[in-house]
Amino acid sequence: MGGVYGEIDSRAAYHRILGEATEIVLGILKQRPDDDTMQRLAEELDAMKRWSKNERVPSDGERGSIDVGLVAARALSGATGVEGDLVQKLFALNNYFEDWPTDEEAANAKDEDFFEAK
């Protein structure tokens, strides 16, 4: 897998990666409870979960309000280890959530599709 949605190729994979990213962020917050970046990420990931729960389709406004990818790019640039893995998940989640593709679109997405659409 690859492309603009990373390892997310279906709605089920989206929910799995969202859960994994949330676990990482909450784990970091246990070690660093005053980390503003992780607090913001936790809030946004929670919103993504609530807005997509029970097969709900997030509204355009909700999808446009999430910027976990931008936060990752700015605050976690060059991160390695667990935080590096988190960055990759956040980029994929951000792109997927913003586009909200069908399973078929997600499974066949390539980076070129993203750049052609912009």
44: helix, coil or strand? Answer: helix
Q: What is the mean pLDDT of each run of 10 residues along the chain (118 residues)?
A: 83 98 98 96 98 97 95 90 95 96 90 50
**pLDDT for the residue 118:** 45
98: helix, coil or strand? Answer: helix
Asked if the structure places residue 116 within a domain, the reply is no
**pLDDT for the residue 115:** 43
**pLDDT for the residue 109:** 82
Element (H, E) at 13: helix 11-31
Q: How many domains does the chain have?
A: 1
Cβ contact 69:91 at 8 Å = yes
**Domain membership of residue 19 as a residue range:** 3-98
Asked if the structure places residue 108 within a domain, the reply is no
**pLDDT for the residue 35:** 96
**pLDDT for the residue 27:** 97
Asked if the structure places residue 34 within a domain, the reply is yes
**pLDDT for the residue 2:** 59
- Cα torsion through 90, 66, 114, 85, rounded to 10: 0
Alpha carbon of 48 to those of 15, 22, 32, 65: distances in Å? 10, 10, 23, 10
Distance CA 112, CA 48 (A): 25
Asked if the structure places residue 110 within a domain, the reply is no
DSSP state of 54: G
Asked if the structure places residue 18 within a domain, the reply is yes
Asked if the structure places residue 57 within a domain, the reply is yes
Distance CA 57, CA 74 (A): 28
Asked if the structure places residue 117 within a domain, the reply is no
**pLDDT for the residue 110:** 72
Asked if the structure places residue 49 within a domain, the reply is yes
This prediction's pTM: 0.89
